[in-house]
Amino acid sequence: MQLLRWFLFPFTILYTLIILVRNKMYDIGIFKSKTFPVKTIVIGNLAIGGTGKSPLTQLLLKHFGNKFRIATLSRGYGRTTKGFRLVQLSDPVLAVGDEPLQFKKNFPNMTIAVDENRAEGIEILQKDHDLIVLDDAFQHRKITGKCNILVFDFTSLQKPMLLLPTGNLRDTMNQTKRADMVVISKSPHEISDLQRVAIARKIRRYNPSVKLYYSFIAYLEPIALNSFSKLPSIDSDLQILLVTGIANPQPLLDYLGNKSTILQHLKFPDHHLFTEADYHRIISAFEAYQNPHKIILTTEKDAQRLDVSKLASYPLYYLPIQTKIEMENDFFQHIITCVNKP
């Protein structure tokens, strides 16, 4: 597969030229960006999917929820509706997208909204809110946020930084210059000085003064999605059927691999909508296990798209995660400084 992507390198050159011209048009003012008086935090990445933007968004909601009249605004990837929509707890996933629905379930009293036109969404929300967190909007250059947070996956920084389709970047690395803060997500808990220096050199080549932070995944206790409320302990005897439809399940596989030696992974594409054939595949794989000490495990994001009723007879759980930030107090203080700038 990787070899095939190198054959597509001429298309990478063409795509890079298109992105460079687009960004230049914004930089010199031919294409216009709109600013808003309301405090805005833009979270985004340069690569496709899987960098940990959504857990970071939830961290900001949790921290700032009691300090501001806060709202989140997302595109609502994969939804069948159009335009501005306030997310309700009763909404089906196809109406709002999996990540906004997850936000609403975790923060039911907060305003969670979706709109593919971020500028129009901000216009509506700013009337009743004084802080808006925009999930996955760094590339949406029609708006200029007060605080721009760019997220890079730790592992991805060890690889060549090439644009699609040969690489995984959807924008050029020089756009790091627009970030107020860079978060290196999914970092190992022990980072060597040499790794820190190499990463700082790669990032600050484009933005010498940018604030750089490292974040880590913290896995919480699994939560039941049906009547099987008592979870067997996750140990070497537990047989786990892991079902994921996320961009990068490798950190989860690494975590579970240290807990259980009996692990099967059914991997689906990011934002996958599960079909009858998929449920049959999941059930068949689970029933093939002879071990009575077994569960089906998924992610919180996938739990928004799974029809739990189709798996009602099986022990089904999801594994919540949290983002932990190194130098957390400094991180939040810098955000406050950013959003309060003129």
Tell me the domains of the chain and their CATH numbers.
2-218+324-339 (3.40.50.300), 221-319 (3.40.50)
pLDDT value for 261: 72
Contact 293, 260 (CB under 8 A): no
Q: What's residue 259's pLDDT?
A: 86
- DSSP-derived 3-state class of residue 337: helix
pTM over 0.75: yes
Q: Identify the three-state secondary structure at position 255.
A: helix
pLDDT at 4: 79
Supply the DSSP symbol for 271.
T
Question: Buried b vs exposed e over 145-177: b needs ≥16 C-beta within 10 Å?
Answer: bbbbbbbbbbebbeeeebbbebbbbebebebbe
| Spatial contact of 294 and 235, defined as CB atoms under 8 Å apart | no
Provide the β-strand partners of residue 169.
47, 163
Note the pLDDT of residue 235: 77
Residues of the chain whose pLDDT is less than 70? 1-2
Report the pLDDT value the prediction gives residue 3, as an integer from 0 to 100: 75
Q: Which residue, among 220, 216, 268, has the nearest Cα to 247 in the 3D structure?
A: 268
Cα-based distances in Å from 70 to 1, 113, 180: 43, 11, 20
Helices first, then strands: H and E counts in the chain: 11, 14
Strands 131-135, 223-224: pairing kind: unpaired
Residue 304 pLDDT: 97
* CB neighbourhood size of 246 (10 A): 21
